Structure 1
């Protein structure tokens, strides 16, 4: 340690998150919910600008819902659903045989039945504020985004990376509170815009201007801090400082297609302005219409010609080794007026004017992905830091959040000493495949969107984009874009051993639960609580709190009494500290605080009684309070929500039953038989990566302590 460093404040934290956009905030939400010490810093001031990402896909909304329970709420989920604009219909407009712009087709914007939630749009500022409130609630006010903090240096002690308890990463940060960092995101415009973040150069100058603490005699050590971390997450955007400290380059390419983005209130006679629209004009380019909250509309508009900066004709940025010799776009020439003029040409013969401009930006289409998402499984990157693409697929913010939704629970399990370091390797292996699929999809979509359309029966326009192919790509892409069909491969955390691919997409199903794909998120359907008859979506019972779920589908115990005898055998098995239920739960912790076992039988609720079932399905705690929310029926006629049949929904036989293991992020990890051998297979699954907790003895629960807040506080290993 240098002389100056020895004078700087030192602190420790389990996880340091650098970057407080949606990806970093999702990670912080996970860690706060799981009770893991963390810090999250951002170089931005408090102000969150309008614009940026605006779409929330089906899977993202499912995840938001998974942080909301009957006793706590992810602040803003209900507000988002109410305030946002709901995307119902997608319209295609193309030139007809005479070159006139006409509506060619309409399709649902989201695939019906793919999720409880459909795509909505609302600007990112709201989402970031809702995350802030949620983190504050889950951490009881102890954690919040620390602004403005600038990371200065990062080092990894390679001798400590295999020690799970070591603070192997050191990050030097500077508090910029005494400096003027107002409006760092804006560029030369009176209207709020995102031009700053879209182009390389400015952020590098921002970092290069940081003080050399070792050689500046006027350095104020009170402005600096050394944060010793077990893990670091770089969620700091497309020009990621963290990624560059790790020496990881982005791989991919850019194009000459330049698009402008404009949020405003349209004044137009175009009939579908409140629908999502994909419009190809004859020769003036293309536009995507995204109706937003209130009366705003977002336009993604192809710009036919944008002036280049003559001083950069030979400049090649480190983020784009294939920069065209034309030079960088002169972003000072990208104005709302330029974007509007291009839009008016595309919309002809319809009139198009705007009022109340809210935000604008410009970007050059390109697709890049990092070949590595981590280093030593101690420093990770997520979101735009490891994959960038055009925004028209509505994936940027969504996939970025899903990166850290994948990583967050893994960090929590490791930081709490419940799982081996090995599970962290699955972050890169799982998410890099999603990123590659996204890049391939966006590459195809953006080029089809940016190309001139092919006009039937026209010799002059036979070499253009086939609109039928464009429609098919868009429709197929809707399923991918929803985020609901992400399929993780066989790994330490995904066991597809009892499955086989049965469809053209290679989804892995089993004969035990024929409609459940191992490696995908468990789609939700209604089950009914045995104790009170309340129907509840299964997704709302297996919320995001860091715990694994073992769903025991016990079949029809009334018609097949032997199934009840199997449950009795399970009771004995699960009480043994040699098996997964107790083996991986700290001594004196709540019995379901690591692995939550839920029984869903297949009999009518009125045909059986709760006390017909063994104790593990209706246990009591240290105060003898019974947990009535471990036992459900999957088949019944409810009073207010009609008939339910989870067995049919999941393809499970009511005689043979099934056991489904679900990861903390809601993805199906394993399916096995409903019998003693099935439980032993689950033992083997957890044995691969979990750490026995027999010697981890917590303080015994005090019967006299008021713990009514136990549903809101962290539930993992407590």
Structure 2
């Protein structure tokens, strides 16, 4: 029997947070895809646990008010919110004391602050969301192992199946991770060399029907730090391991330490350091610096220590870290020394692991604009900054909508190259930040008023943490000029490196749009603008029309826009399939600047309250950004964004809510929007969808994919 052949638009290899984020995007946009993983169905305890501000904004963007199922915004509701960071270090006498408290998250950068919940919950919410968005047609396929991958570099058609991946189904025993001891732990995946057994221990006598050849247009390798996809592409990881080894415990502490329910960074005089992270319910996670960890002399110069260009230099002379010597008891013993004079005992141990600090990043995140790697597959670092799961998910949040637009035939394949240029810079910035923070965390502290001046300057440590909190939040990722971001050469750059426009002086171009409340013209309901920019694959054009009551020319200009938007030469119709919903590729929202009681809905042109094929009115395209709410006080998004209420502005927002372009509120400004989309969008005037029938029952249209339908 010949090997089974199958076809899909996108194949995702690896069902961790990064793979799941890509899958959620594709499901939401209605793209055919598959997601495979070599693990069994078990969702591991432990692993990553921190959710940063930007990640929570992204989760919220997949969770609209019209959904009747629990999705990703559950993270904010059930996680433990961390408010405060406490710093502990030795005083002049060597006694452990608290020396400062600071906000855990930088105030004012987002409506969400950092919280913690274990990764298993996040993966469960992803699976529920994917199931709902795909109407139950997509499930993670487990345990499936990729065997080979081949890219047809000569396939020029973006819709061609250019990547062939041979896979096989594992038996349940092979899919189980190696386990050390009786307690759930992550040691099996914490050190190099462990995953090779999956690829070398396959039974030689397998039949052809044990294999499948998957033909994909595009492949995403989200398969972890020892990525098989990355190795097949010949992409190295650049960097090195340090000699610092840390242990991790998830448990309920029995202690008299006063800040056990605050996040803490603790430097002891001679016994190492601890990071304390209070978690959901009464759990606490401890990252504990281990003073001495035995190495296995039999592994000196063992090739499994190497991972691309990365090496553990100490392994050459000492051998690899002997992970079998890392036990919960040994980790706790070291913690007890660090916490003295406070006591620390352990009950309800849920999970433990050990890891060796290192910073590594791939020089490339893609091959041939067909195969992409994300998350730990292209950057690894310590957990100190709480970035691993967050940056990994943000990688594929950047990539997912681009793949959806290309697979739908809406955008040119060229946009896929912006994934690497945008996310590689973020990864390198992360590696630099983590390199500095982890060494300050792991070093022996400088004692105040001591004659010995070597050691970690704790003031520098505190300053690095505080200054890094903006970066760690994920809210200041700044994408450079490209076909998807318009940063004109003449635009000013401020002291923080932000590209700003005089038209909207508080909106950095290339960064995500900060969310602030607006008020619906139709019913007076306040809503965060961010909640109006749901992650469904569509671009948004925001018309900040200014005070249309006292500036009649602004209202006249809106009415002039009606003729432009009705033209097939304009972006709205030019790039939307015929018979699709008019807003299913690019949505236009209007936000004026006068009291909603001074104007009426029907004073505004039709595109601000359009009718669909059933003559149903969409009331949610017209808002005021200035005024008083009945229950939530006054709002002024114009002041927040630095937009003049007389002149207005036009903003183009990408599907990932990053600001693509800022223009003046004028006919010329609207023409610049046209020019922006002309760079990469594909005209759809010959793409004729079936005409919608007025008697169709489409009550589920709010949950089903919206992109180009």
Instruction: Give yes or no for TM over 0.5.
Output: yes
2:243 is the counterpart of 1:256: yes
Deviates further, 82-91 or 312-321: 312-321
Deviation at 1:158, TM superposition (A): 1.1
CA contact (8 A) 1:65 1:74 kept: no
Match of 2:664 in 1: 673
Deviation at 1:183, TM superposition (A): 3.5
Deviation at 1:84, TM superposition (A): 1.3
Match of 1:171 in 2: 165
Deviation at 1:83, TM superposition (A): 2.2
1:693 to 684, 690, 694: 684
Give deviations 1:436-482, integer Å, cap 9, x for gaps. Answer: 0000000000000000001121123x101001000000001111100
TM-score, normalised to structure 2, is 0.98
Match of 2:194 in 1: 202
Partners in 2 of 1:634 and 1:125 — Cα distance? 39
Pairs within 5 Å for 1:482-631 = 482-497=473-488, 500-631=491-622
CA contact (8 A) 1:246 1:375 kept: yes
Give deviations 1:289-347, integer Å, cap 9, x for gaps. Answer: 00011111100000000000111122242313353222210000000011001101100
Pairs within 5 Å for 1:97-496 = 97-160=92-155, 162-176=156-170, 178-181=171-174, 183-184=176-177, 186-211=178-203, 216=204, 218-316=205-303, 317-319=305-307, 320-324=310-314, 325=316, 326-460=318-452, 462-496=453-487
Deviation at 1:112, TM superposition (A): 1.4
Pairs within 5 Å for 1:636-647 = 636-647=627-638
Give deviations 1:121-152, integer Å, cap 9, x for gaps. Answer: 01000110110010000000001101110001
Partners in 1 of 2:69 and 2:99 — Cα distance? 41
Deviation at 1:107, TM superposition (A): 0.4
Give deviations 1:652-696, integer Å, cap 9, x for gaps. Answer: 111100000000000000000100000111111000000000111
Deviation at 1:253, TM superposition (A): 1.2
The DSSP-based 3-state class of the residue aligned with 1:401 is helix
TM-score, normalised to structure 1, is 0.97
Query: Paired residues, what number?
Result: 704
Match of 1:38 in 2: 33
The DSSP-based 3-state class of the residue aligned with 1:400 is helix
2:79 is the counterpart of 1:84: yes
Give deviations 1:598-625, integer Å, cap 9, x for gaps. Answer: 0001111000001000111111011111
Structure 2, gaps ≥5 residues long: none
Deviation at 1:509, TM superposition (A): 0.7
Deviation at 1:82, TM superposition (A): 3.0
Give deviations 1:472-530, integer Å, cap 9, x for gaps. Answer: 00001111100011111111100011763342221011010111010000000011111
Match of 2:51 in 1: 56
CA contact (8 A) 1:547 1:593 kept: yes
CA contact (8 A) 2:174 2:198 kept: no
Give deviations 1:372-395, integer Å, cap 9, x for gaps. Answer: 000001000000000000011100
CA contact (8 A) 1:637 1:644 kept: yes
Deviation at 1:76, TM superposition (A): 4.2
Deviation at 1:208, TM superposition (A): 1.4
Partners in 2 of 1:96 and 1:391 — Cα distance? 27
CA contact (8 A) 1:499 1:508 kept: no
Partners in 1 of 2:233 and 2:437 — Cα distance? 31
Match of 1:3 in 2: none
Deviation at 1:165, TM superposition (A): 1.4
User: RMSD of the alignment, in Å?
Assistant: 1.1
Give deviations 1:411-440, integer Å, cap 9, x for gaps. Answer: 000000000000000000000000000000
Partners in 1 of 2:29 and 2:632 — Cα distance? 33
